[in-house]
Structure 1
Amino acid sequence: MHPILNDIRLVTFDLDGTLVDSVPDLALAVDAALAELGLPAAGEENVRDWVGNGSLVLMERALRSAIKAYGEVSPKEVPDGALLERAHVAFLDHYGRDPGAHTRLYPGVREALDALRNRGLILALVTNKPYAFIAPLLEGLGLAEYFALCLGGDSLPEKKPDPAPLRHVAAHFDVSAASCLMVGDSRHDIEAGRAAGFRTLAVPYGYNHGEPVHDSAPDGVVESLAELV
């Protein structure tokens, strides 16, 4: 096993950009929501840089970009609360119809989860994705059996990069922070893990707003989760 797992009892994973590439489905839902408002599509490349802070922030970024695309002829300036709420509701509706249609596991994920589970480690999931979408995705990909606890971005008042969700997981299983590892793809995961007192491990292939995740100074980086085996 990877040395970063020494003395670790609980491993908490991020979802989007760490275990699964969900951007194709997220982008379709974002563009469908924008179309309902008569705004131009964002496209998958942009959405890939906007993911990570939950669905409301995702739609706020999409709206700001779409409105800016109109330039000075735009009748709108920045998304007000009512417009953002409409866009967010539309996004949730479109995404909820089939959140896993085009979402795929990254290479090495299942092998890593199997190995960690077989070693007797507790596995948990902490994502900023709304909780309602977690089960359909995990079940569709055959991952539901691996996680003893799942938290979404709306499960607690706080979400990553706030450390509260990670502290909640550690307390739930009565495991000290020093025996916990946070695995993610973005600075939000690393910041949350560090603030919670967890060891941190990053993967460089996910979504980090176009920034190298190495810059967040995680305790370790692996090119594939298969390296944990």
Structure 2
Amino acid sequence: MQNFLFDFDSTLADTRHVAVIATQQAYKLQGLTVPTPEAVISYMGIPIEVSFAKMAQEPLDESALETLYTVFRAQYQQAEQQGMAPFNGMATTLAQLKTRGNRLFVVSSKHSVALKRNLDQLELGSFFEAVSGSDLVDHYKPAPDGILDLLTRFDLDPKTSLMIGDAKYDIQMGTNAGIATAGAMWGAADPDSVKAESPTYILVTPADLLTI
């Protein structure tokens, strides 16, 4: 493989705690029923534009949802200062991939602005040529838009490109884009659902990427 496309949350970095805190606080501030940590984690991997309406127990119109997104993003920016870190061995693995000439990208359900901010905060931003966030696609995961965007922008060969992710949505997206896939078991909240998608590779640690 020559081109490595990474999901962000629970693949490059452990962000579950931050996501739970920010989501619960946003729902609380809007007077809504607060989703459980399990519910929040189960929807990680798809954008808030999809998951928030599904988690809400009250009916929300478009205006209420837009306000909820705004409140969440503000809460996330505060919460990310408390507990966000790359997985063990991730920075070393990315550096080795970069040194040997691989091209690295990020495909995430996060908005690109937050994604770039988080990568820089974790001192990982310099490893990646570009990112594709939820604001750059017409259709969210598991649609292949994020991957196809990068393949087109950087003239990447699908046959030597790999999507790495911790959730079934990442594997489905890679499959839908016609590229190889790798399940990042170190961050998977539901390993069985990832394996059920038959990824090309199952990775136990970030260093396993160096063997592909």
Q: Normalization by structure 2: what TM-score? A: 0.90
> Does the 8 Å contact 1:182/1:189 carry over to 2?
yes
- CA positional deviation for 1:140: 1.0
Judge conservation of contact 1:11–1:124 (CA < 8 Å) in 2. yes
In structure 1, the partner of 2:197 is 216
Give the TM-score, by structure 1 length: 0.84
Amino acid at match of 2:52: M
**Among candidates 32, 37, 43, match of residue 39 of structure 1:** 32
Instruction: Give the residue type in structure 1 aligned to 2:71.
Output: A
Closer/same/farther in 2, CA of residues 58 and 205 from structure 1, 3 Å limit: farther
The ranges of structure 1 where at least 4 consecutive aligned residues each deviate by more than 6 angstroms after the TM superposition are: none
Does 2:182 align with 1:201? yes
1:185 partnered with 2:166: yes
Q: Residue type of the partner of 1:144?
A: G
- For these two proteins, the number of residue pairs brought into alignment is 210
1:105 equivalent in structure 2 = 86
Alpha-carbon distance in structure 1 between the residues aligned to 2:54 and 2:188: 15
CA contact (8 A) 2:22 2:79 kept: no
The equivalent residue for 1:147 is: 128
Larger Rg: 1
Cα pair 2:45 2:170 within 8 Å, conserved: no
- On the 8 A contact 2:185/2:191 being kept in 1, the answer is no
Query: Is the aligned partner of 1:14 residue 2:36?
Result: no
Cα displacement (A) at 1:9: 1.7
8 Å CA contact 1:183–1:201 kept in 2: the answer is yes
Percent of pairs with identical residues? 25
Check whether the contact 1:49–1:207 (CA below 8 A) recurs between aligned residues: no
Shift of 1:123: 0.3
Shift of 1:40: 4.0
SS where residue 110 of structure 1 aligns?
helix
| TM-fit CA distance, 1:209 | 6.1
Partner of 2:206: 225
Pairwise CA distance, 1:100: 4.5
**Distance in 2 of aligned mates of 1:26 and 1:57:** 15
Using the TM superposition, give the Cα deviation of residue 28 of structure 1 relative to its aligned residue in structure 2, in angstroms. 1.4
Residue 165, structure 1, aligned to residue 121, structure 2:
no
Is 1:83 aligned to 2:64, yes or no?
Answer: yes
User: In terms of mean alpha carbon deviation, does 207-216 or 143-152 score higher?
Assistant: 207-216
CA displacement at 1:207 relative to structure 2: 4.8
